[in-house]
A and B are shown apart, each in its own frame.
Chain A
Amino acid sequence: MTEALVDLGALEIARRVRAGETSASEVLTQTLRRIKDIDGRAPTSQPYEPEPDDRAYIHAYVSLAEGRARSQAEAVDRAVQAGQDPGPLAGVPVAVKDIFCVEGTRSTAGSRILETFTAPYTATPVARLEAAGAVTVGKVNLDEFTFGSSNESSAFLPPPGNPWDPTRVPGGSSGGSTAAVAAGEAALSLATDTAGSIRQPAAFCGVVGLKPTYGRVSRYGLIAFASSLDCPGTVSRDVSDAAAMLGAMAGADPADATAAAVEVPDYLAELERGVEGLRIGLSPNYFRLAYPDPETGELREQSIDPEIEAVVHQTAETLASAGAEIVEGVPMPHTHLGIPAYFVISRVEAASNLHRYDGVKYGYRFPGPVDGLAEMYRETRGHGFGVQPKLRILMGMYVSGAQYERDYYRRALRVRSLIRQDFDGAFTAQGEHRLDALLTPTTPTTAFELGRVYGDSVLMQYADLLTVPANHAGIPGLSIPAGFDSGGMPIGVQLLGPDFSEGRLLRIGRQFEIASEGETWRGRRPGIVATR
């Protein structure tokens, strides 16, 4: 059977478009057909009544940008025909997480309060992908304002399902992104990661997710959650595509004062240099740590899913066979404090960022009668926000209150510094371990059933237990598929490295792909794609 065009990697699609073997228009047509076949009814903000059929579909897209995408594809095709360079991502279909502004598209952040908002400008990473020839197919679902780890908190329902088993969550907050890419509804997705929102759903959906270093990719045009932690990043089906996508987006931006002035290397050129001599660490603090008991909610020290732990060790053995040196017993003693510190820092920043939604400048305004401006604010925010933004605003205000600020917020910021010191100690050339990268599980469990965790905001937050330390430290993290559990759900492993070491992490990930190419699990496809 010939592989469908939409199931090819981004680089192969671009190669064929550039060579004239297919056209960007044809790629778009086939992508839209795949979406029509498997995406199911479009999510809406109406009161959600689940239908039995919902779990037979993915529901990744919130809105399609068909006309815009068609014009982009035709422009790529015209460039190819005229002998001009159509860009390294020519004709590659991209799904944009609906937290980025794209001019002329509805940009909702998964919230009723932005349901009617049409962005008047385009985010820098989107503009750069499009300048590289990529075609923006549409906007994909997410947890409301990215607040969640299952994608169930979106105002637009049905929620996305996991392509490997649509009764399970795709993870979150970039669940629409990872579900779409896993199911061939896009070759790439532009997503964001504030505590693990790219890596956790990438692990759950069996795709590659890269959170770059803070400041590697511009945040201009990203609807803000926690500005000291938010990172735009990549979702793809393989490591090479992640390298190509990052290369197209990264770099300084006059519109974002935190986009670092650090040269962007040619990530693809370095990709197959192997791992010979690289020191890759394993830390016991990522395998056994304090988090809530999934049944009782009691916070206690426990081990992660043993099937996931086994896959991490197998990955280490594979990398060792390829020439890497595995360093065991690396202490990362503050890992378990990542979520408690995040509960404070992210809420303070979220409360500040969410003050702008007031029903005056854009978005939803409460349409009923009100007694003055203050009541209009309260009713607009009360009806416009779902419970997750409300929780974050209230907690942010509580822990930043004058009487509590020192003991909660300042303490949490110092714990962030301690987490950073853990990584500095592991990576420094003067230290005992001198790691080039740390290899960890991405998640403590595989994808859970829809409805099982949602509502318990503490348990849900702990889904980011193993990913959030990288956000506190600002360092890059790459999640790659590394196997399956006995229930057939994907398992991801995470590679963490020093600031701006994305090239090295991608190289290690690529080496793992090469070394595991012949293994049977590599040939598995999500059921929903295989059966249609």
Chain B
Amino acid sequence: MAPTPPDQGEISAEVFDRLVELAALALEPEERDYLRRELNGQLRAIRALDAIDVDETLPITSHGVPYSDATRPGIRKDRAQEADKADAILAQAPEVENRYLVVPDIPQEALE
């Protein structure tokens, strides 16, 4: 028998708020309604996975194709290489000062 999923209900407003906080997303109110509705629609589709028995000992893999020793790429040699792209990379940062990335204040809290 398939295990009972932990939460047969929907993603509640409280759980949704917690996810949004963890995901670091500022959302508009109408966006929140749409996203929560779609998430719950997707969860209903995901529950199709509960309809079959899945052997808990079935191995899981990091991708579909198994690599053998012959096909697995070898580990690169660990050696230093000249890199000439530092300026091009830094040029992509939204705010740079004296080659340091600038970010807004990080509020400090006293250590207990």
Contact = CB atoms under 8 A, between A and B. Distances in A.
Contacts of A359: 94
B71 A407 contact: no
Contacts of B35: 387, 390-391, 394
Contacts of B63: 214-215, 228-229, 258, 474
B22 A397 contact: yes
B9 to A, nearest CB: 12
A253 to B, nearest CB: 8
A340 B39 CA distance: 13
Given A337-B49, A379-B26, A414 B55 contact: yes
Interface string B1-29: 00101110001000110011011111100
Interface in B15-72: 15-16, 19-20, 22-27, 31, 34-35, 38-39, 41-42, 44-50, 52, 54-56, 58-65, 67, 70-72
Instruction: Count chain A CB atoms within 10 A of each CB in B34, B62, B65 and give the residue with the most.
Output: B65
Given A382-B25, A387-B35, A417 B60 contact: yes
Contacts of A403: 6
A476 to B, nearest CB: 10
A131 interface: no
Interface string A251-289: 011101111111000000000000000000000000000
B80 interface: no
B73 A257 contact: yes
Contact of A378 (B24, B46, B64, B101): B24
A383 B26 contact: yes
Nearest to A354: B23
B111 interface: no
Contacts of A7: none
B42 A472 contact: no
Interface string B59-94: 111111101001111111000000001001101111
A293 B21 CA distance: 34
A48 interface: no
B110 interface: no
A193 to B, nearest CB: 13
A261 B72 contact: yes
Contact of A344 (B34, B46, B94): B46
Nearest to B84: A120
A414 B23 contact: no
B41 A457 contact: yes
Contact of B19 (A213, A252, A387, A397): A397
Nearest to B27: A382
A91 interface: no
Contact of B3 (A299, A360, A407, A499): A407
B52 A215 contact: no
B73 A472 contact: no
A363 B74 CA distance: 33
B49 A373 contact: no
Contacts of B39: 391, 394-395, 398
Contacts of B31: 387, 390
Contacts of A364: 94
B73 A360 contact: no
A415 B25 contact: no
Nearest to B64: A474
A324 interface: no
Contacts of B91: 118, 120
Contacts of B47: 340
Contacts of A390: 23, 25, 27, 31, 35
Instruction: Count chain B CB atoms within 10 A of each CB in A258, A340, A360, A398 and give the residue with the most.
Output: A398
A213 B65 CA distance: 8
Nearest to A366: B26
Nearest to A399: B46
Contact of A254 (B27, B50, B76, B89): B76
Contact of B58 (A360, A395, A418, A456): A418
A361 B101 contact: yes
A214 B64 contact: yes
A469 B61 CA distance: 15
Interface string A331-372: 000101101110110000001000000111111110000101
Interface string A486-499: 00000000000001
A474 B104 CA distance: 43
Contacts of A416: 60-61, 64
Given A391-B38, A475-B64, A339 B72 contact: no
B67 to A, nearest CB: 6
B92 A118 contact: yes
Contacts of A417: 58-61
A360 B94 contact: yes
A229 B52 CA distance: 23
B73 A120 contact: no
B73 A376 contact: no
Given A260-B71, A344-B49, A365-B94, 9 more contacts: A215-B65, A258-B63, A364-B94, A382-B27, A394-B39, A395-B42, A414-B56, A415-B49, A417-B61
Ordered nearest first, which 4 A-B pairs have the shortest CB separation?
A474-B64, A382-B26, A474-B65, A120-B88
Interface of A: 117-118, 120-121, 213-215, 228-229, 252-254, 256-262, 290, 292, 297, 299, 334, 336-337, 339-341, 343-344, 351, 358-365, 370, 372-379, 381-383, 385, 387, 390-391, 393-395, 397-399, 403-404, 407-408, 410-420, 456-458, 461, 471-475, 499
7 contacts: A254-B73, A387-B35, A394-B23, A416-B64, A417-B58, A457-B38, A475-B64
